[in-house]
Structure 1
Amino acid sequence: MPAPPEAPDLTGAGPAEVLRRIFGYDSFRGSQQDIIETVVEGRDALVLMPTGGGKSLCYQIPALVRPGTGVVISPLIALMQNQVDALRALGVRADFLNSTLTMDQRRMVEQEFVGGRLDMLYLAPEALGTPGVQQLLDRGKISLFAIDEAHCVSQWGHDFRPDYLQLSMLHERWPDVPRIALTATATSATHAEIATRLKLSDAKHFVASFDRPNIQYRIVPKDGPQQQLLELLRTEHRGDAGIVYCLSRASVEKTAEFLSREGIPALPYHAGLDAGVRARNQSRFLREEGLVMVATVAFGMGIDKPDVRFVAHLDLPKSVEGYYQETGRAGRDGQPSTAWLAYGYNDVVQQRRMIEQSEGDLAHKRSLSTHLDAMLALCETVQCRRVQLLNYFGEEAKACGNCDTCLTAPEQWDGTIPAQKLLSTILRLHRERNRKYGVGKAVDVLLGRETDETRRGRHQELSTWGIGADLNEAQWRSVARQLIAQGLLAVEGDYSVLVLTDGSREVLGRQRTVMLRTEPKRPSKSRSRSSASAAGGVKAAPADLDPADAPLFEKLRTWRGATAKEQAVPAYIVFNDATLKQIAARKPSSLAELATVSGVGEAKLARYGDAVLAVLAE
């Protein structure tokens, strides 16, 4: 990337002026101003704010206003380059220290820091623990410490990083330097753990709304998940960038290959790949437009790609926190995006088995089970999914009108009798045949299926043989899945056999009514995409853009893509989609008019202004 324009002189500039001149925005959002003023004044802050809520500005602006260099603790070395590129494009003097640098490069960065010629310096948490880096920081002037992805300090969290536990030393070694810890996901328990472990109990705490209204949450029953995913991408997200999460490495590979065969550019990412391959795939995803990354949960933390239009899960996440964190990678630019999950009976069985086989004591396994129960409740709810999701984080909300249960309300039905039939079959198979079975065998008995195994086991003699013909196999599996989710049935052992619980006995004893969810036949789609466009392979115009402006928007995107490629940076570092849409709609005819567009700061106006006006003049 070419050297950025000379850094603007910000001497005496306040937060609002820095926001306008560097970042190109006229006003702060939500609690940003209060957070920034707290840190500028030299006080500590703990910030819980959703992905896409503007967390980075909460430490970047104080670092530019306060004297010295802002030191950012970032957990992923692979993403530091992109974060630094984005700041340099704004005219901010930023750099990083990590293992990717040569000795000469490292020495140069250290000299820039000690000489006071850096606004921002990015470090990995493990680097901060080394005496050499600590001594280096002692030689320079530090404006603040920013601890990004602070939930990594939670020992039983989904992204735990042991190196984060040492970050409490920041206050001990540099007591006069303000600290700001930020995360995009935390329950009240995780919030408290962050404050305790980082010694931020006396800091000012800011908890923003976790609502991401631009994301449409949809959960569908599994029915050939790869084909379901393909239909989603072809009908709603053709040509869009997105992330597909799978539980296993094998599933990642197979899904990436499947999408590629179907003409959708897709790359795999998991811990089993060569480190160089992982780095190249991640770099391509960040820098190219329209790529789909198929990955395990090893991918995604810290991904700062604003135009991810969908996040899909082909397997059940382990917790609501993990699900929220992963789906939050969609729509960071505030534009309409989709969070889609395919969920089935085998997901529940697999997750229960993984908990039983996990390391840790009984308390840890109970914690994992509690997290899974909350995720199952989200999947099985007949209420607004967003309400349930926000309630998990202690936030009250009203029905959103932009999730599948709001758009196509599922019905409930009294499933007490089917539940009794299924539970009675499981009981009889165990008691009368002295064996425990999985759901498949119980369904065979209920449907009266003649197979070699049912004949060998004389299952036809069971009193429940053939009494379930009123439901089909998929419906019976849904009954089993929902009974497990409600704790009325349990999975046991490596072979996923079904066993009764205390709740099961209440149902069999007619002491408990069982209400079950009826799945809608088809999920609703909020953003209409013409079937002609989907069938013909044409990417539909953004829903919030006047169709008359769509051709100009695409010309600007083409220019942006060529410019980004020439500079070897991600396209969004040049301008994001939201800024290009404003340019296409307002059609500025001068640099002064272009400067009024949100997202066009002084450095970008100087670097790209004339080129943008040339595209508009065409």
Structure 2
Amino acid sequence: MMEDVLKQIFRYDGFRDGQRQIVESVLDGHDTVAILPTGGGKSICYQLPSYLQTTGLTLIVSPLLSLIEDQVMQIKRRGERSVAKLTSLESRDQKDHILRHLNQLRYLYLSPEQLAVPQIQQRLADIKINLFVVDEAHCISQWGHEFRTEYAKLGSIRKQLGNPTCLALTATATNQVEQDIIQGLALTQPNRIRHSVNRPEIQLIVEQTEQNEKDAVLKRRLKTTNRPCVIYTTTRKEAERIAAFVPQAAYYHAGLEPEDRQLIQQQFLHDEIDCLVCTSAFGMGVDKGNVRTVIHYTMPATIEAYMQEIGRAGRDGQPSTAVLLYAPGDPQLQQFLADKQYASLLWIDQVTQSRGQGESFESIEQRLHLEPDDPAYRLLKSQLKEGKTKSQIIDWQENRKKIRLRELMQMINYIQNTFCRRAFILEHFGEKPVVQDRCCDNCGTLTVDEPVIEVDVNQLDWKRRLEEVFFSSRPSV
């Protein structure tokens, strides 16, 4: 029966490793934590069960607009109409229309922030939810503590929705992150299905250089870099600067207008752009199989983030390459960005004292010139609303900073490690080392790409491209 649906609906002849086990687990009503490598076909694990259940909604909580857009587009391409999304792109009228027709949907995608909206929760509580899916569930641990505190509320929201069966999916999770997921979602004796994080098709390279030579190193590497290619950098400004000197490249970050982000993502997916320079706002789960190279212009803050981002390469199983450029000063940048996520001691003192005197948050924000959308202030405000005291907030922040520093040191150790890089990563995730060809620069078993032949790319204007993309898809409710 499952194989029939897999063939008829999804056009696959058989399940990949782990997929059947996960589908059977959720169909039996078991909360499930599933760890599959990037490119392992996680979307099948929650999309297929809906065709074996006569009624009910599959609710998918997803972290990024680009990921939601890509998943919805993929579903529509196979002719499925019963899918909708609630994101920042939908107008109030569009959202109201979707909420009125929830019982006609098979899938609903939304972010944790949208799920936290009381009106949306109230409407969802009135319908049958077959499966509560948290895609990229490592974000509960990675982001739920700091700047996206809505992730920390998913467990309580799920309870308010009647505790539907929960499926938490991710490609990268240490044992500690797995425990954070189980605790954050309040899972009851979940089935744990874990497969190796190893991506044997990706060879691993670290090139150490000086800060003022990075651009030259990148330009040299790009001359022999197989494309399509993704270049990750830390800041929006850096992404725009690099895209300006890389031939046939576009940049992507959260500061772009939604229409521009949609256009650029679709152009990249359709091979109209063969090099994308981006921040972490792009990538998780985006289904482009033929990315041949991922380059990190600056180091990520954690090994988990690194594995997520290099996982954009080689999803078709063909030989691919991950290159990390490292220069002294990179860790200081990551430390600076991490520290910005926490309120200063002065803020904590001023705000807690003012709240103790009965002053409203709105009054405090105006008097102290605090931006309500500042991540550090939002976090502080959330903690005070939860009833935390000044000393509890300070102690919590110090503990979190220690954890972030430890994660950063693990990433530095990976870079400076002189033994097998693949073995280092596998050990980090509690796995045994493997021996393979095309492994890493330390093992010396790399293959060298041939010089790139540059081809002119005819880029479409965004209005025409959007019309083409959406006209070819069947409308959703």
Question: Residues 434-480 of structure 1, C-alpha deviation per residue, up to 9 Å, x if partnerless?
Answer: xxxxxxxxxxxxxxxxxxxxxxxxxxxxxxxxxxxxxxxxxxxxxxx
Q: Separation in 2 of the partners of 1:252 and 1:209? A: 32
The percent of aligned pairs where both chains have the same amino acid is: 36
Q: Give the aligned partner of residue 454 of structure 2.
A: 537
Shift of 1:135: 2.9
Report if the CA contact (8 A) 1:225-1:342 is conserved: yes
Q: How many angstroms apart in 2 are the aligned matches of 1:273 and 1:176? A: 37
Cα separation, 1, equivalents of 2:89 and 2:255: 21
* Distance change >3 Å, CA 146–CA 386, structure 1 → 2: same
Contact 1:39 1:45 in 2 (8 A): yes
Corresponding residue number in structure 2 for 1:416: none
Matched residue SS, 1:537: coil
Name the residue aligned to 2:352: none
Q: C-alpha deviations, 1:88-107, integer Å up to 9, x for none?
A: 22233322233423455445
What whole-Å deviation, never above 9, does each CA across 1:66-88 have from its counterpart, x for those lacking one? 23221111222344233112112
Matched, 1:291 2:208: no
Residue 251 (1) aligns with residue 172 (2): no
Aligned to 1:82: 70
Map of 1:27 onto structure 2: 14
Identify unmatched segments of 5+ residues in structure 1: 1-13, 409-523, 540-557, 559-563, 575-602, 604-618
User: CA offset at residue 372 of structure 1?
Assistant: 1.9
Residue in structure 2 matched with residue 91 of structure 1 by the alignment: 79
Contact kept? 2:313, 2:320, Cα under 8 Å? yes
Deviation of 1:288 (Å): 4.2
| Aligned partner of 1:38 among 25, 34, 45 | 25
Structure 1 letter corresponding to 2:276: M
1:232-281: CA deviation from partner (whole Å, max 9, x where unpaired): 333231xx22221223333222211111xxxx211223455556544543
The one-letter code matched in structure 1 to 2:436 is C
RMSD between aligned residues: 3.1
Alignment partner of 1:569 out of 462, 469, 472: 469
C-alpha distance in structure 1 between counterparts of 2:110 and 2:340, whole Å: 36
Greater relative CO (CA pairs within 8 A, separation 6+) = 2
1:325 is matched with 308
- In structure 1, distance between residues paired with 2:17 and 2:429: 18
Using a 3 Å threshold, how does the CA distance of structure 1 residues 348 and 125 change in structure 2: closer, same or farther? closer
Correspondence for 1:314: 297
1:587 corresponds in structure 2 to none
Residue 376 of structure 1 pairs with residue 276 of structure 2: no
Take 2:146 and 2:90, find their aligned partners in 1: how far apart are those partners?
26
Cα–Cα, structure 1 residues 160 and 393, in superposed 2: closer, same or farther, change >3 Å? farther
Report if aligned partners of 2:422, 2:440 keep a CA contact under 8 Å in 1: no
Which residue of the partner structure matches residue 368 of structure 2? Answer: none
CA distance in 1, matches of 2:467, 2:3: 30
Structure 1 residue identity aligned to 2:283: G
Measure the CA separation in 2 of the matches of 1:567 and 1:312: 32
What does residue 432 of structure 2 align with? 396
Rounded Cα–Cα distance in structure 2 between residues aligned with 1:122 and 1:358: 27
For residue 285 of structure 1, what is the amino acid of its counterpart? F
Taking a change above 3 Å as real, the CA distance of residues 265 and 157 of structure 1, as seen in their structure-2 partners, is farther
Please say if residues 308 and 332 of structure 1, whose CA atoms lie closer than 8 Å, have aligned partners that are also in contact: yes
- Give the whole-Å Cα distance in 1 for the aligned partners of 2:331 and 2:152: 33
Shift of 1:406: 5.3
Deviation at 1:290, TM superposition (A): 3.6
Classify the secondary structure of the residue corresponding to 2:300: coil
Shift of 1:362: 3.5
Q: Distance in 1 between matches of 2:405 and 2:250?
A: 32
Give the CA deviation at 1:146: 0.9
Look up the equivalent residue of 1:388 and give its one-letter code.
F
* 1:129 is aligned to 2:165: no
Gaps of 5+ in 2: 343-393, 459-463
Q: Does 1:338 align with 2:374?
A: no
Residue aligning to 2:221 = 232
Change in Cα spacing, 1:64 to 1:80, as seen in structure 2 (3 Å) is same
Partner residue in 1 for 2:250: 267
TM score, norm. by length of structure 1: 0.60
Residues 67, 283 of structure 2: 8 Å contact kept: no
What SS does the aligned partner of 1:132 have? helix
**Mapped partners of 2:412, 2:144: distance in 1:** 18
Alignment of 1:420-569 (within 5 A): 525-526=446-447, 528-529=449-450, 531=451, 534=452, 536-537=453-454, 568-569=468-469
Give the conservation status (yes or no) of the 8 Å contact 2:89–2:258: no
Q: Deviations over 1:354-380 (max 9, x none)?
A: 667874744333222221221122112
Note closer, same or farther for the CA distance 1:22–1:292 as it changes in structure 2 (3 Å cut).
Answer: same
SS at match of 1:56: helix
- 1:71 counterpart (59, 64, 72): 59
Shift of 1:28: 1.2
Structure 2 length normalisation: TM-score?
0.77
Q: Say which SS state the counterpart of residue 338 (structure 1) adopts.
A: strand
Counterpart amino acid of 1:306?
G
Compute the displacement of 1:287 (Å).
4.3
Check whether the contact 1:387–1:400 (CA below 8 A) recurs between aligned residues. Answer: no
Structure 1 residue 213: Cα displacement: 1.0
Tell me if structure 2 keeps the 8 A contact 1:382–1:405: no
CA distance in 1, matches of 2:340, 2:124: 44
3-state SS of the aligned residue for 1:335? Answer: coil
Amino acid at match of 2:39: G
Q: Contact 2:116 / 2:157 at 8 angstroms: preserved in 1?
A: no
* Residues 286-319 of structure 1: per-residue CA shift (max 9 Å, x gap): 4443432212333333433333222111112222
Q: Deviations over 1:150-189 (max 9, x none)?
A: 1221166799621122211354234462111111222111
Q: For 1:151-300, list aligned pairs within 5 A.
A: 151-154=138-141, 161-175=148-162, 177-222=164-209, 224-237=213-226, 240-259=227-246, 264-273=247-256, 277-300=260-283
- Summarize the Cα distance change of 1:106–1:372 in structure 2 as closer, same or farther, 3 Å threshold: closer
CA distance in 2, matches of 1:160, 1:333: 33
Does the aligned pair in 2 maintain the 1:219–1:342 contact within 8 Å?
yes
Structure 2 distance, partners of 1:351, 1:106, is 37
Give the distance between the partners of 2:298 and 2:92, measured in 1 at CA. 43
1:598 aligns with none
**Is the 2:62–2:135 Cα contact (8 Å) retained in structure 1?**
yes
Going from structure 1 to structure 2, the CA distance change for 1:356 and 1:107 (only over 3 Å counts) comes to: closer
Q: 2:281 is matched by which residue type in structure 1? A: A
Identify if the C-alpha distance between structure 1 residues 35 and 226 changes in structure 2 by more than 3 Å, giving closer, same or farther: same
